[in-house]
Amino acid sequence: MLTRRCVSLNNVAFDTTEVEVANSGELAGSVRLELVEDVALLDPASAVFEAMLSGWARQQRARFLQESQTIAPRIALVRRLAEFSGQYPWEWQPAEGEAFIGQLRTASGRPVAVSTARGYQVVLQLFCDFVTDRRYGWSTECLRRFGGAPQQIFHEWNSISHVSEYEGDARRRPLSYDEVQLLFDAADGRVEEIRSRRRKGTLAAMRDAAVLKTVYAYGLRRQETCGLDLVDLRHNPKATAFGRFGAFFVRYGKASRGGAPKRRTVLTVPEMDWIVPVLEQWVDEIRPLFAPGRHPALWMTERRGRLSRHCANQAFVHARVAAGLPQELDLHCLRHSYITHLVEFGYPERFVTDQAGHAHASTTALYTGVSDEFRNRLLVQALQAHGDELGMTPA
């Protein structure tokens, strides 16, 4: 491994490793930066494999990919294939990759979804692209040490084709208006249940109910919801009736290709004006009971920390079970519901896309599942307009 060396300037220590890497002319993740030359390895195969993974992680960090959400899961998947096959990457053949995916597809209990399997194949293709790229030197090193070189194990003939825009579970869908109301009633009922039993957790249940309502009222993702701070509340000069709750400034939107989180402002719409007193009660009355001090987060935990995505998920699960809704529904379905209901309220396509934070209207369309009632209403309006043009009155 590369030896770290520190120098001191004016009694301040600096790590020169990254400087030396930058000045060496080597690509991040190359074999010369991960393995020390002319050093005998006790277990060469294992050491080279770990160096490969370390190099791939370094290469991805150079692209500013996220450690916990992207890099770590990718490394774990490569380890899973190595463990499944009992071989190292320079020994892999397409058969190993095909058997791995086939085993996941036929696994008892919960077979992997098509979209998940294709995502696994893409990750393994990326890893194979990395270790077979001559610029990084791993093929040459493996050939010299083990007499074999890595190869690409997934190609067009054994990879899942992306033929449909949406490959998610068909059972996941937007909630109807009645289901949304059932969910909120169940969340509020949980507060009363805990309070009547004089158990701990009343404040947390009140917070969870407010979180679910906020997710729906603004169509937020989990990370966007948990990342909100008090300072993200915005006045809307065009909707003064909403006061300080006229909009949310979302600073932790979904990033693309290792980029920074996308930002947007989500306006409070009149059809969701019921969220204003909910947020007002949370900010002014309930949140101070958590003793947040100077913590900036909008949603607090009992331990004075920021609400996690897991806790937000659990809030939905508890309310869903209490409401008797299908278990296939998850927290993200509230975002689908928000987008669908905005369309049914009659908002223009561009407005709905901007509110959702989508780059393309086609993405918004995938989230939309309007009801038959809405479509019939549009049909009646079209018939009426057509009858007026012809001077006819529809029956």
Q: Is 14 helix (H, G, I), strand (E, B) or coil?
A: strand
pLDDT at 391 over 70: no
Same domain, 206 and 140: no
Residue 255 within a domain: yes
As a whole number, the mean pLDDT across the chain is 87
CA–CA gap between residue 52 and residue 90 (Å, rounded): 11
Please tell me the predicted confidence (pLDDT) of residue 19.
41
The answer to whether the beta carbons of residues 121 and 102 sit under 8 Å apart is: no
Residue 42 within a domain: yes
Same domain, 134 and 214: no
Same domain, 187 and 289: yes
66-74's contacts with Cβ under 8 Å and 24+ in sequence apart are 66/255, 66/258, 70/258, 74/123, 74/126, 74/127
Same domain, 353 and 236: yes
Same domain, 117 and 212: no
Q: What percent of the chain has pLDDT over 70?
A: 87
Q: Which domain holds residue 34?
A: 25-146
Same domain, 253 and 362: yes
pLDDT at 166 over 60: no
Mean pLDDT of 308-316: 96
**pTM for this one?**
0.73
Residue 160 within a domain: no
Same domain, 32 and 136: yes
Residue 284 within a domain: yes
Mean pLDDT of 1-14: 38
pLDDT at 57 over 60: yes
Lookup: tokens for 199: 């158990």
The answer to whether the beta carbons of residues 53 and 34 sit under 8 Å apart is: no
Q: What percent of the chain has pLDDT over 90?
A: 65
CA–CA gap between residue 156 and residue 251 (Å, rounded): 39
**How many folded domains does the chain comprise?**
2
| Residue-wise pLDDT tens digits, 114-145 | 888 999 999 999 999 999 999 999 999 999 99
Give the ranges where 86-220 is alpha helix by DSSP (H). 94-105, 114-132, 138-146, 177-196, 202-218
Please tell me the predicted confidence (pLDDT) of residue 387.
67
Same domain, 208 and 126: no
Q: Domain ends where: 96, 128, 146?
A: 146
Place of tokens 């990879």: 159
Mean pLDDT of 370-386: 73
Residue 239 within a domain: yes
Place of tokens 């038959």: 372
Residue 329 within a domain: yes
pLDDT at 14 over 50: no
Q: How confident is the model at residue 273 (pLDDT cuts 50, 70, 90)?
A: very high
CA–CA gap between residue 164 and residue 157 (Å, rounded): 18
Please tell me the predicted confidence (pLDDT) of residue 116.
87
Q: Domain ends where: 89, 123, 146?
A: 146
Mean pLDDT of 235-249: 95
Q: What is the CATH number of the domain that holds 347?
A: 1.10.443.10
CA distances, 134 to each of 61, 128, 141, 149, 334 (Å): 20, 12, 10, 11, 47
Q: How confident is the model at residue 392 (pLDDT cuts 50, 70, 90)?
A: low
Query: How many C-beta atoms lie closer than 10 Å to residue 188's C-beta?
Result: 17
Same domain, 377 and 272: yes
